[in-house]
């Protein structure tokens, strides 16, 4: 049941709020019918009043394709100006008190900090000093990723937040956890014995996790040049995918049981081998037929920036289930397509019985491909004998697509905002989990900052040219190629698409 509450968005005129938070809040009210329970307060440094912010909200909703929102906007949306870096939040506390009185709210509050990581500590301290960490109802604080910029800063931030809020009040958000297909990973694995019984070192040869984006950094250079792809994507989104695809079954579906299982998995990851690390930065090139500038020519990016926009690496997990199975993680900006997927490659049969021309083995590795974007679903690839006298194998697939079976999938933010309002922390990252994840990437970030080779790849390509993808470097056959021996592949480097997306 939804309790009446005030939803406060710090960073209320920022990009994330306009594109995601306002449309998602509105959609929740429509879909869940909670408009009567919810009042929204935007906080920003812009000189706006309530009326001005209502216009801003209407415009943002309209840009997201949502019109006809007047009653909600005019009755339940407010604004408070707080200058950047302001530590004294007395005026905000007064505004909150006035809104809660006017709407008869019992003091249930969400503070969503849609802010760059550097701004978070000041706001947390300011909220506490203004008496806003406690209330007659519940108080929840939402912190966007990246949480800190390395292990030490994440630990420091955890300590700071814990001085003012209990862990049960903190929602570290990673929007990948709200994606329907990511949430389905748990159902896929733990509701289907067919798959889960094959999900281990005896059956699986390798797992690839790829998140490719065609977008560049847009107008976010100030944030991005300090963060880079490791902090922006790898430490959080891809690592969450890794945890969900590899974790043990939780003993229940309670939030703590799931989060315990994820932490246990992250703690079993071996030190990342820097020999297997490839870093890249996009140069100029073409996307969808149009030319785009290289990263160093994006507005406000230093001409000698060494910030990576592409990373690929290998993860090994030292536990009974996964010992010896490599996980290849890669992500990059300015690739030809937007595409996120997890490919589970199964071991080839121990002996090849099906030989084709030149005595080559005709069997392909079975794969399960979990497609997270753009067309959510999954595929199971397997061999069949093609009809005819000669014994010839061809690869075919069974395919399930969400769009074929269900209506519109909710936006990830919609799911997560609703969970925050309901007080469900399952899809949020716990303090020990965020620290376990940074522990993996501190050495990778140090390498990137200290001269690890950075390859420039043309925008519109699948990453650094001339480099073997990790899966090829490991001598594993590319899915779909004719296998001559399980160890060697003479196939030239191929794109993620060629490798079985
Ligand atoms: C964000 C990153 O967290 O995720 C962006 O900061 C990235 O750089 C985005 O573009 C990708 O999200 P999605 O949902 O479009 O895959």
- Average pLDDT, stretch 379-407? 91
Q: How far apart, in Å, are the Cα atoms of 154 and each of 201, 260, 368, 420, 439?
A: 33, 19, 35, 22, 10
Confidence grade of residue 261 (pLDDT, cut at 50, 70, 90): very high
CB atoms within 10 A of CB 148: 23
Q: How far apart are CA 78 and CA 52, in angstroms?
A: 9
- Average pLDDT, stretch 272-296? 95
What pLDDT sits at residue 136?
94
Q: Is 103 a catalytic residue?
A: no
From the CB of 435, is ligand 1 less than 6 Å away?
no
Regarding whether 450 and 321 lie in a shared domain, the answer is yes
Q: How far apart are CA 6 and CA 77, in angstroms?
A: 10
- Average pLDDT, stretch 345-359? 86
From the CB of 499, is ligand 1 less than 6 Å away?
no
Parallel, antiparallel, or unpaired: how do β-strands 139-143 and 170-172 relate?
A: parallel
Pocket test for ligand 1, best of 24, 175, 241 (most atoms within 8 A of CB): 175
Give tens-digit pLDDT for 36-69: 899 999 999 999 999 999 999 999 999 999 888 8
CATH number of domain containing 185: 3.30.360.10
Domain that includes residue 35, residue range: 5-144
**105 Cα to the center of ligand 1, angstroms:** 34
Of 195, 191, 213, the closest CA to residue 203 belongs to 195
Regarding whether 138 and 68 lie in a shared domain, the answer is yes
Number of structural domains the chain divides into: 2
Structure tokens at 418: 């609703």
pLDDT of 297 over the 50 cut: yes
**Mean pLDDT of all residues in the chain?**
90
Residue 163 contacts residue 453 (beta carbons within 8 Å): no
pLDDT of 251 over the 80 cut: yes
Would you call 316 exposed, middle or buried from its count of C-beta atoms within 10 A (0-12, 13-18, 19+)? middle
Give tens-digit pLDDT for 467-495: 545 445 444 443 433 333 333 333 333 33
Regarding whether 137 and 12 lie in a shared domain, the answer is yes
Of 8, 93, 71, the closest CA to residue 43 belongs to 8
What pLDDT sits at residue 497?
37
The reported pTM is 0.90
Instruction: Look at residues 94, 119, 144 and tell me which one is the last residue of a structural domain.
Output: 144
Give tens-digit pLDDT for 415-458: 999 999 999 999 999 999 999 999 999 999 999 999 999 999 99
What pLDDT sits at residue 377?
92
Residue 159 contacts residue 435 (beta carbons within 8 Å): no
pLDDT of 338 over the 80 cut: yes
What pLDDT sits at residue 469?
55
207 alpha carbon, distance to own chain's centre: 18
- Scanning 268-334, the segments in alpha helix (DSSP H) are none
Report helix, strand and coil shares of the chain as percent, to nearest 5: 40, 20, 40
Query: Helix (H) and strand (E) counts for the chain?
Result: 16, 17
Regarding whether 186 and 317 lie in a shared domain, the answer is yes
Please measure the distance between the N-terminal and C-terminal CA atoms of the chain and give it in whole angstroms.
41
Give tens-digit pLDDT for 76-111: 999 999 998 888 899 999 999 999 999 999 999 999
pLDDT of 214 over the 90 cut: yes
From the CB of 144, is ligand 1 less than 6 Å away?
no
**324 Cα to the center of ligand 1, angstroms:** 31
CA quadruple 155, 161, 165, 169: dihedral sign: negative
pLDDT of 190 over the 80 cut: yes
Whether residue 375 is contained in a domain is answered as no
Q: What percent of the chain has pLDDT over 70?
A: 93
Q: How far apart are CA 44 and CA 61, in angstroms?
A: 18
From the CB of 232, is ligand 1 less than 6 Å away?
yes
Of 374, 18, 386, the closest CA to residue 210 belongs to 374
Owner of token pair 């994440």? 154
Whether residue 362 is contained in a domain is answered as no
Regarding whether 310 and 195 lie in a shared domain, the answer is yes
Whether residue 412 is contained in a domain is answered as no
Structure tokens at 469: 């993808």
**91 Cα to the center of ligand 1, angstroms:** 34
CATH number of domain containing 127: 3.40.50.720
**233 Cα to the center of ligand 1, angstroms:** 7
Give me the helix-helix angle, 151-164 and 431-449, nearest 10°. Answer: 150
């Amino acid at each position: 049941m939804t309790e009446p509450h005030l939803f406060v968005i710090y960073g209320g005129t920022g990009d994330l709020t306009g594109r995601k938070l306002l449309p998602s809040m509105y959609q929740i009210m429509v879909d869940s019918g909670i408009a009567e329970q919810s009042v929204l307060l935007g906080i920003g440094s812009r000189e706006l009043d309530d009326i001005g912010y209502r216009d801003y909200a209407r415009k943002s909703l309209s840009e997201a394709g949502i019109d006809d929102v007047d009653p909600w906007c005019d009755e339940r949306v407010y604004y408070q100006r707080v200058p950047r870096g302001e530590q004294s939040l007395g005026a905000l506390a007064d505004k909150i008190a006035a809104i809660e009185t006017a709407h008869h709210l019992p003091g249930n509050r969400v503070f969503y900090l849609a802010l760059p990581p550097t701004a978070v500590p000041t706001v947390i301290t300011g909220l506490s000093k203004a008496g806003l960490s406690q209330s007659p109802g519940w108080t929840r604080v939402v912190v966007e990723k990246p949480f800190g910029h390395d292990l030490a800063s994440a630990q420091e931030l955890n300590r700071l937040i814990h001085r003012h809020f209990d862990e049960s009040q903190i929602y570290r958000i990673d929007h990948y956890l709200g994606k329907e297909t990511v949430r389905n990973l748990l159902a896929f694995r733990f509701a289907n014995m067919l798959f889960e019984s094959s999900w281990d070192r005896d059956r699986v040869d390798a797992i690839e996790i790829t998140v490719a984006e065609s977008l560049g950094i847009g107008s976010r250079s100030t944030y991005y040049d300090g963060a880079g792809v490791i902090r922006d994507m790898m430490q959080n989104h891809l690592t969450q995918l890794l945890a969900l695809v590899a974790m043990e079954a939780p003993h229940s579906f309670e939030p703590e049981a799931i989060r315990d299982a994820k932490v246990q998995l992250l703690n079993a990851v071996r030190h990342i081998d820097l020999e297997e690390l490839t870093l890249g930065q996009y140069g100029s090139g073409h996307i969808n037929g149009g030319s785009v500038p290289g990263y160093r020519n994006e507005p406000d990016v230093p001409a000698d920036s060494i910030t990576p926009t592409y990373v690929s690496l290998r993860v090994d997990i030292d536990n009974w289930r996964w010992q010896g199975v490599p996980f290849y993680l890669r992500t990059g900006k300015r690739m030809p397509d937007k595409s996120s997927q997890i490919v589970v490659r199964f071991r080839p049969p121990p002996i090849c019985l099906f030989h084709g021309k030149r005595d080559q083995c005709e069997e392909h590795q079975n794969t399960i491909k979990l497609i997270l974007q753009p067309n959510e679903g999954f595929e199971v690839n397997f061999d069949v004998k093609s009809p005819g006298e000669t014994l010839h194998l061809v690869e075919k697939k069974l395919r399930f697509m969400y769009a074929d079976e269900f209506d519109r999938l909710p936006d990830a933010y919609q799911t997560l905002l609703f969970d925050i309002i309901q007080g469900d922390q399952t899809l949020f990252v716990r303090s020990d989990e965020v620290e376990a994840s940074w522990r993996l990437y501190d050495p990778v970030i140090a390498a990137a900052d200290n001269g690890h080779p950075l390859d420039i790849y043309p925008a519109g390509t699948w990453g650094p040219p001339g480099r073997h993808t990790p899966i090829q470097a490991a001598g594993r056959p590319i899915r779909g190629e004719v296998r001559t021996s399980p160890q060697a592949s003479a196939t030239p480097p191929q794109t993620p698409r060629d490798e079985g997306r």
